[in-house]
Amino acid sequence: MKKPSRRQKRLGGLLKETLAELIAKRVKDPRLSLITITDVDITSDLGIAHVYFCMMDQSKISDATKGLESAEGYLRRELKKELRLRKIPNLVFSYDKSLDYGLKIDGILDRIKEKDG
């Protein structure tokens, strides 16, 4: 896989920061109240931004995804105002499973410590 350019990284970080602020402060959808934007990966043509999010209540992941998808137009419009970019990438939302994986590993390590200690 090709390594992302500096521009992709910079734009991804900027989108991550701005999206997190928009969702926390301006989006009124209750389905999005407890999500955290963990990462944004942008394609090389800057046309698609893969937005990864996590949340503690895993039973509401599909609701949060639907809420994000329904807010995509609003978020893109607000990003255009905030960032003054010529073209705002399409936003594709995905649940970030890395937090779950990390918690699973922590649990395994804790059980190993209990057995040894």
DSSP string, 81-105: HHH--S-PPEEEEEE-THHHHHHHH
Sheet containing 90-95, strands listed edge to edge, beginning at the edge strand earlier in sequence: 35-42, 48-55, 90-95
Give tens-digit pLDDT for 18-54: 999 999 999 999 999 889 999 999 999 999 999 999 9
Give the C-alpha separation, 72 to 79, whole Å: 10
Backbone angles phi, psi at 89, to 5 degrees: -70, 155
In the numeric block, the tokens 């609701």 are attached to 63
Confidence of residue 1 (pLDDT cuts 50, 70, 90): low
pLDDT digits (tens, 9 = 90+) for 57-115: 888 999 999 999 999 999 999 999 999 888 999 999 999 988 778 888 888 888 888 88
Compute the distance between CA of residue 115 and CA of residue 32 in angstroms, rounded to an integer. Answer: 40
Please return the burial class of 45, using the count of CB atoms within 10 Å of its CB with bins 0-12, 13-18 and 19+.
Answer: exposed
Topology (CATH) of 6-116: GMP Synthetase; Chain A, domain 3 (3.30.300)
pTM for this one? 0.85
pLDDT at 117 over 70: no
